[in-house]
Structure 1
């Protein structure tokens, strides 16, 4: 039924990718489906090559100098200004290009330089109005206007109506008080395109926000829009247009521009002056005369001239590969329309929709809808599945999406029905922008967004749809509650009158925990909340010296102030110093570097001193540059604050190279019940030992009841006492066979169905202090 859409996408794809994705996007050869083009475009190989060839063949000096290389830089920058104006169908007669560090810096510049008239003066005061469906950086402008005693007025999209009641009376057209109205050409949340005709309607008084008399100027936030649509400033002459170039080309980042209409440019105010902006000034007196050029007046310091030179090649390559923005618009919309059409028709067996799409359009017109689809996945009962779980499942399929509220709280509130009070309550509950707290009291705090760019293909859309179908329509509706917990070691003694212990079970103070030992088999783990019942036995102890590498089992092991001695004291990092885990390199499981060297700490330290030799060895094996690092002595006090389960105050934890807690603990009884459920969904039987290894716990216990550990607030093992820190998250690590390194994405999918709860970072363990777990019990985290 979608054959016509498919044909259109394939035809456009052949035009936009004449060299094929393989040659232009080598980073996608590994099978990545990149669906976050609204976050950033991906740069093609030919852009990078053209830019680096340019730098090799030319010498570019500081444009503020007067030598030959500096003159070359200056002339090239002016040529790039021309290319930008040409790209937006305008000329230097109408617009000036002011280079900034990005769209956000451009918005800040407008807020600071606009000729505001504050309240309390004889004139009518200025107003800053903005659409509530705006990026955080637009809303943030109100902080600057407030400091200037200028009021801000948020306007909801439905309040902008082209009707006679919004017109100003003729006698009020002569008011000259400057006001500023800002709105996005395209919502970065839903992809809704707001009418560019609003620009002229607002400026001429046909459309007047809040019916406030005065001279209205328009700021068009075009950052999202221009990544996939043409903008003709010869027709739609907004006064300010901020953009970020990485949204268009993918490279360079950290470079944007403010396009300023020359009619308002002379009115802009400037107080600070940096290098290159002054025609003349005195150091000993308050005298400053600015450069005549608007661009030079506002470009403080030396512009990022090499990045600006890269733009020239960006425009060249974009035109060569695509044929222009109009074709990009058609191509990306065709992909979005196809994906939306299929996605909106997916149903469960009971007729319930698989997803809830947040959109103001039906994706039928590329002039009103951009290539962005925002949604939440639902279960068969219509309940939202947290975006964090969807994100982690997508990563197993090598699909890159964006989740959260996308720096657009206004649109997020509108589409998800989140009230102002909800935002404040969620903050008090610990949820902040950018975290993975996706559900609070069962209600979503954000959503999932996919977006297409000119490098996207029909196969990308199909891969995403197959992922949704595979993970939702092939899953059982059986759900078993299962959640892991984190604990932390404390050194206080238990009071004599503690209700959970008799005299024989009393704990003594532990002044030097580094000298204590855990012993399996002979040690008993006792939760302090437990009354009666059979004892809980420690069955296994595992140490993970190198983060994400293989473990080795011990019968006893010393405890340090960060957990098991040497546990995750080493870590493999890439050439940028970023940690490499099993998620990127399952082959790390091939390393058993400390298995035969665990007898003495002196031997371990000497043998595994980090340096070029071991770095070369790791690099050769993994096939890319990396190094082995060890936690240094000055990191021993690295701590983590987290509210403990059952306790009102936050506790400081001294950590090694783990993520959250000193130890992870797992209950065999819980794993057995989980195995029974998960094995039914897997093609081959799963052994209990293999399942336990996937959760990468430090301590394995055997308790009489499954999941009883979820209720524990504190436990003790021998003379050590631990506190529960909260849920341990799980991630893709549990999909990796800890012996072969093979991935099985069905594992996390099945586990998710079994648990019926959010999938987090690691494994299934109970994180505790003096034991640094790497997972949570049942599905904890890889630390």
Structure 2
């Protein structure tokens, strides 16, 4: 392994050796079509990125979009419900796409019809509503709705429709279906035509298990059935996951209903799916609602409605998404041109999955313990039984699971995109992770919901990590992922080498001589910014003053050794060692969200926190907030507040300083809507001049916006206690709370863990000042033991009182060096290890009662008086309440 001597069990599996030892012929790539050239030409946007969430959404090639755009600019496509020439062109093109879809699945209009929907979920809902269910009555036990427990949420959700009609719902475990098949359960009474529906996925979106397509024929013929009842079984094959990387032959496996989503296959367009319906079933389907285009005739003033004869026309309510449907043609063209067809994709993606599974399974700690627990029903022996999905949890050397949220955050540092949670498949998640129904209910009562970051409860996982491959995935992608696991679990010292690795290079680890030229993973190497060299000069601000009072300007945090102190720290009486007095040692505000700190020794308070703290933020061309997670170079942007002149001066290396007024001009302000942590905020654009300045600096179109002074954003009570009876805490553009406080003793403990000794003495890779800056606190205190702040219920600072509203649960931003914008995962990794994998650091503060009738100030040197939770009159927050991110 590059970058050091690998421990036994930590070596990366050699791909050539893997191919030679395989019992089957492995196919990688697409023959004469160069995969490397395909990636460079069609997916250049993936440079520096390892995308491993193709089961969530695959990616479209550039030529598909180019050809689609060319089609639209050269043709006039009108509403297909009209009768003019452009409408006829649309109608004929859409019909041609229907034929193309059926041909892709090896069938024809004689056997199947294509109903376009908003996605596979809409297709499933359509079946639930249109299926000819029979409710139980005196002469009938009624229909049965059966579904495999390893099904997507959208399949399970069909039961709400069926239950409204008193139809019995029967969940069937995968192992029970197998038993029914082996035992040859009795066939249904041939004279009874009571309709039942069985739904199962062709491929599990959780584990990639491919369930036998032969079940379709066996169920329909009565050779097997999920439950022994008289009647006729119909089969819905959920093909959404399967067809993204594999062919499906409907001439052989004639399911009655086949829902699918096209973005799973092509990446574009999204929000478009289809329900393929076997024409033999079409006459049985029922329709209640009718929309535009579905009626042959109707009356507005009388209950008179005649549906169109064509099943497709009856069920496609309103005007179909005809331009997106036309885009599908270019998706089929691109897929065939680039890969040669779905069989090739099937073989290629399985080879990558089998290699990764084999390599990941072999990784061991020095004590022999496995590095990962893989959740699978197969041994990845064949693409007939296993798709290109690997689901797992990372373990420590004692066999304890490391929460998926922490793995996801660490992967983000390497620009590796994975999926975490339960993947909208609670049944499979429960089965593989051993989560009982009672545990699910208990977790929900404790505050855990689908999609959050609560990954461990009482040490037990609530979900897992999933990686999945697409047709453009490469061996370098797989090896970059495996090196990430090795570097972070087995060879942590190699982690920095891997951070600078780029997918597409045969050796994903760069040589030491190349590392100095590496840029942050999120920087597009094809479009270098004028600021890319900023990271090599951390002393560019040395000609500016070190510390200022409220009205002055201050440079970015300087990198100092542990024995160096800023004037603020000297003024506060911070000792070189020991706890010292319990006082405020540093005050920081961050006028522009995610940009550099502005340090002061005394500063006024506003209703939302420190005056002008996070009052501005940088947004992209779509108005979406940028943070250092997407754009690490934001930390190189230095805002300075001058209260006397009423301006904010913004500086960055290589750029002329620019001034921004502190308050908006109401006559000229352009109001816009933005979001911060799902909260709507009213903002205004700060103008074209600062927009052009930022766009030039960052190499992408962006704007500076400021929260409107007349807009009030209220803090959510679930993130803290009501600060004071009859009052509502208000927030600026922060994520969670008005203030963030950290304790120097806590930083010092982490500092000692990160900075090790060698034969030459102490090696200080992370100076105290550097660590403090990474946590982006407003208030830094001294004089208490490490992490004692997490026991506080409230504190007084001078004459001001604050309520502690909970811990700050850290994200990967703490890995960004605030002086250079470079990333290093060691801080997050070490904090995760020392804090038992819950990366909490610092606490949130809110005003309890703030009287602004006279000016209020926070000052360095002010005494800090905490009240412990057990001594507080009020109850502390439930442990289940989690704070998901740092104030950015």
Q: 2:742 aligns with which of 661, 666, 672?
A: 666
Worse-matched range after superposition: 680-689 or 31-40: 680-689
- The answer to whether residue 758 in structure 2 is matched with residue 758 in structure 1 is no
Q: 1:724 aligns with which of 801, 804, 807?
A: 804
Cα deviation, residue 737, structure 1: 1.5
CA contact (8 A) 2:38 2:338 kept: no
Q: Distance in 2 between matches of 1:203 and 1:634?
A: 65
Instruction: State the match for 1:606 in structure 2.
Output: 661
Instruction: State the match for 1:547 in structure 2.
Output: 593
User: Deviation digits for residues 220-257 of structure 1, max 9, x if unmatched?
Assistant: 00000000110000000000000000000000000000
Q: Distance in 2 between matches of 1:424 and 1:14?
A: 53
Matches within 5 A, 1:704-715: 704-715=784-795
Mark the CA change 1:650 to 1:666 in structure 2 (over 3 Å): closer, same or farther.
farther
CA contact (8 A) 2:737 2:887 kept: no
Instruction: State the match for 1:449 in structure 2.
Output: 466
Q: Which secondary structure does the structure 2 equivalent of 1:360 belong to?
A: coil
- The answer to whether residue 223 in structure 2 is matched with residue 168 in structure 1 is no
Instruction: State the match for 1:493 in structure 2.
Output: none
Cα deviation, residue 173, structure 1: 2.3
- The answer to whether residue 459 in structure 2 is matched with residue 466 in structure 1 is no
Q: Which secondary structure does the structure 2 equivalent of 1:769 belong to?
A: strand
User: Deviation digits for residues 9-55 of structure 1, max 9, x if unmatched?
Assistant: 544486373742111002102x1000000000100001000100000
Q: Distance in 2 between matches of 1:51 and 1:39?
A: 23
Q: 2:713 aligns with which of 613, 637, 646?
A: 637
- The answer to whether residue 793 in structure 2 is matched with residue 686 in structure 1 is no
Matches within 5 A, 1:500-519: none
- The answer to whether residue 162 in structure 2 is matched with residue 145 in structure 1 is yes
- The answer to whether residue 851 in structure 2 is matched with residue 746 in structure 1 is no
Q: Distance in 2 between matches of 1:414 and 1:635?
A: 48
Q: Distance in 2 between matches of 1:353 and 1:165?
A: 37
Instruction: State the match for 2:865 in structure 1.
Output: none
Cα deviation, residue 541, structure 1: 0.7
Q: 2:35 aligns with which of 9, 17, 34?
A: 17
Cα deviation, residue 616, structure 1: 1.4
Q: Which secondary structure does the structure 1 equivalent of 2:206 belong to?
A: coil
Q: Distance in 1 between matches of 2:112 and 2:648?
A: 69
CA contact (8 A) 2:740 2:887 kept: no
CA contact (8 A) 2:614 2:733 kept: yes
Q: Which secondary structure does the structure 2 equivalent of 1:319 belong to?
A: helix
Cα deviation, residue 96, structure 1: 0.4
Q: Distance in 2 between matches of 1:88 and 1:311?
A: 14
Q: Distance in 1 between matches of 2:248 and 2:34?
A: 19
Q: Distance in 2 between matches of 1:540 and 1:726?
A: 21
Instruction: State the match for 2:68 in structure 1.
Output: 51
Matches within 5 A, 1:184-583: 184-475=201-492, 536-583=582-629
Mark the CA change 1:560 to 1:153 in structure 2 (over 3 Å): closer, same or farther.
same
The size of the alignment, in residue pairs, is 723
- The answer to whether residue 814 in structure 2 is matched with residue 734 in structure 1 is yes
Q: Distance in 1 between matches of 2:374 and 2:70?
A: 45
Cα deviation, residue 738, structure 1: 1.1
Instruction: State the match for 2:45 in structure 1.
Output: 27
Instruction: State the match for 2:845 in structure 1.
Output: 768
Output the TM-score relative to the length of structure 1.
0.88
Q: 1:701 aligns with which of 781, 796, 812?
A: 781
Q: Distance in 1 between matches of 2:822 and 2:79?
A: 52
Output the TM-score relative to the length of structure 2.
0.78
Mark the CA change 1:188 to 1:157 in structure 2 (over 3 Å): closer, same or farther.
same
Mark the CA change 1:324 to 1:649 in structure 2 (over 3 Å): closer, same or farther.
farther
User: Deviation digits for residues 134-164 of structure 1, max 9, x if unmatched?
Assistant: 0000000000111122111100001103546
Q: Which secondary structure does the structure 1 equivalent of 2:327 belong to?
A: helix
Gaps of 5+ in 1: 477-519, 526-532, 774-778
Q: Distance in 2 between matches of 1:33 and 1:602?
A: 42
Mark the CA change 1:550 to 1:334 in structure 2 (over 3 Å): closer, same or farther.
same
Q: Which secondary structure does the structure 1 equivalent of 2:480 belong to?
A: helix
Mark the CA change 1:539 to 1:683 in structure 2 (over 3 Å): closer, same or farther.
closer
Mark the CA change 1:754 to 1:167 in structure 2 (over 3 Å): closer, same or farther.
closer
User: Deviation digits for residues 353-398 of structure 1, max 9, x if unmatched?
Assistant: 0000000000011100000000000001000000000000001111
Cα deviation, residue 4, structure 1: 4.9
- The answer to whether residue 886 in structure 2 is matched with residue 781 in structure 1 is yes
Mark the CA change 1:25 to 1:6 in structure 2 (over 3 Å): closer, same or farther.
farther
Instruction: State the match for 1:585 in structure 2.
Output: 631
CA contact (8 A) 1:96 1:259 kept: yes
CA contact (8 A) 1:241 1:259 kept: yes
Q: Distance in 2 between matches of 1:302 and 1:129?
A: 33
CA contact (8 A) 2:187 2:228 kept: no
CA contact (8 A) 1:733 1:782 kept: no
Q: Distance in 1 between matches of 2:375 and 2:182?
A: 30
Q: Distance in 2 between matches of 1:680 and 1:102?
A: 54
Q: Distance in 2 between matches of 1:214 and 1:179?
A: 7
Worse-matched range after superposition: 232-241 or 153-162: 153-162
Q: Which secondary structure does the structure 1 equivalent of 2:742 belong to?
A: strand
Mark the CA change 1:205 to 1:16 in structure 2 (over 3 Å): closer, same or farther.
farther
Gaps of 5+ in 2: 1-13, 21-25, 494-567, 574-578, 650-659, 665-685, 851-857, 859-883
Q: Which secondary structure does the structure 2 equivalent of 1:615 belong to?
A: helix
Q: Distance in 1 between matches of 2:210 and 2:113?
A: 25
Cα deviation, residue 686, structure 1: 2.0
Cα deviation, residue 591, structure 1: 1.7
Mark the CA change 1:17 to 1:130 in structure 2 (over 3 Å): closer, same or farther.
same
Q: 2:699 aligns with which of 623, 630, 637?
A: 623
Mark the CA change 1:647 to 1:662 in structure 2 (over 3 Å): closer, same or farther.
closer
Matches within 5 A, 1:23-102: 23-29=41-47, 31-102=48-119
Q: Distance in 2 between matches of 1:673 and 1:276?
A: 69
Mark the CA change 1:190 to 1:577 in structure 2 (over 3 Å): closer, same or farther.
same
Q: Distance in 2 between matches of 1:34 and 1:547?
A: 28
User: Deviation digits for residues 544-596 of structure 1, max 9, x if unmatched?
Assistant: 0100011111121121221111110100000111111112222212222324x
Instruction: State the match for 2:565 in structure 1.
Output: none
Q: Distance in 1 between matches of 2:644 and 2:464?
A: 50
Q: Distance in 1 between matches of 2:202 and 2:724?
A: 47
Q: Which secondary structure does the structure 1 equivalent of 2:614 belong to?
A: coil
CA contact (8 A) 2:795 2:803 kept: yes
Q: Which secondary structure does the structure 2 equivalent of 1:713 belong to?
A: strand
Q: Which secondary structure does the structure 2 equivalent of 1:430 belong to?
A: coil
Worse-matched range after superposition: 119-128 or 442-451: 119-128
Q: Which secondary structure does the structure 2 equivalent of 1:432 belong to?
A: coil
Instruction: State the match for 1:120 in structure 2.
Output: 137
Cα deviation, residue 673, structure 1: 1.3
Cα deviation, residue 274, structure 1: 0.2
